[in-house]
């Protein structure tokens, strides 16, 4: 039997945006309120995507790495989830520089990514509008998902991971 394809995904974004919560939500369909923010973990996960079994290796970065560590993670990954928190404008402003560094590290390949705006349940303290997120995604030519790791009603979290796998497999 043919070995199922393996896809390496890394999750990037400022500390506190909910990277770990999103990964845990995707893997377990549960939300964990407190997760060690300094922890970096990798997970293996198999999923059926468009009738094909895909094995994902998911790297949940801590978001506090120095530049050498960041570049190492970028070289490792095939596809990237860039996360910001809609209640933290600074986290949104950090996305474009991460993307620039990615392009540099992966040059001349163009880099499969998706943009995820997390914490959509906190709309009352929102600092970044949906339109701004959509605009940034279209500048980066990638898919955009606004979702919530803690109240993932529409399944947007796993849709983002699956879409990224498709994007990687298309290359």
Rounded to an integer, what distance in angstroms lies between the CA atom of residue 29 and that of residue 12?
20
Give least dist CB 54 to ligand GDP, A.
24
The verdict on 20 binding ligand GDP (CB under 6 A) reads yes
List 9, 10, 12, 19, residue binding ligand GDP (CB under 6 A): 19
Q: Which two tokens stand for residue 143?
A: 């898919």
101 binds, among ligand GDP, Mg ion, none (CB under 5 to 8 A by kind): none
User: 24-44 in b/e burial notation, b at 16+ Cβ within 10 A?
Assistant: bbbbeeebeeeeeeeebeeee
51 binds, among Mg ion, ligand GDP, none (CB under 5 to 8 A by kind): none
Rounded to an integer, what distance in angstroms lies between the CA atom of residue 48 and that of residue 37?
30
The verdict on 91 binding ligand GDP (CB under 6 A) reads no
Shorter beta-carbon distance to Mg ion: residue 14 or 19: 19
Per DSSP, the chain holds a count of helices (H) and strands (E) of: 6, 6
112 binds, among ligand GDP, Mg ion, none (CB under 5 to 8 A by kind): none
Sites for ligand GDP among residues 112-171 (CB under 6 A): 118-119, 121-122, 148-150
Shorter beta-carbon distance to Mg ion: residue 17 or 102: 17
DSSP letter for 139, please: H
**DSSP calls for 37-83:** TT--EEEEEEEEETTEEEEEEEEE--S---HHHHHHHHHH-SEEEEE
Give least dist CB 24 to Mg ion, A.
9
The verdict on 20 binding Mg ion (CB under 5 A) reads yes
Residue number closest to ligand GDP, CB atom: 18
DSSP letter for 12, please: E
Where along the sequence are the contacts to Mg ion (CB under 5 A)? 19-20
């Amino acid at each position: 039997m043919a070995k199922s394809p393996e896809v390496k995904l890394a999750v990037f974004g400022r500390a506190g945006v909910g990277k770990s919560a999103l990964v845990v939500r995707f893997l377990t369909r549960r939300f964990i309120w407190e997760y060690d923010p300094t922890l970096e973990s990798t997970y293996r996960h198999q999923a059926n995507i468009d009738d094909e079994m895909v094995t994902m290796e998911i790297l949940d970065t801590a978001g506090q790495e120095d530049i050498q560590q960041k570049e190492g993670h970028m070289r490792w990954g095939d596809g990237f989830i860039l996360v910001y928190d809609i209640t933290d404008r600074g986290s949104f402003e950090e996305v474009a520089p991460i993307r620039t560094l990615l392009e540099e590290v992966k040059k001349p390949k163009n880099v499969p990514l998706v943009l995820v705006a997390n914490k959509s349940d906190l709309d009352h303290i929102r600092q970044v509008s949906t339109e701004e997120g959509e605009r940034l995604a279209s500048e980066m030519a990638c898919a955009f998902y606004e979702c919530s790791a803690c109240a993932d009603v529409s399944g947007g979290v796993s849709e983002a991971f699956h879409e990224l796998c498709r994007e990687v497999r298309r290359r």
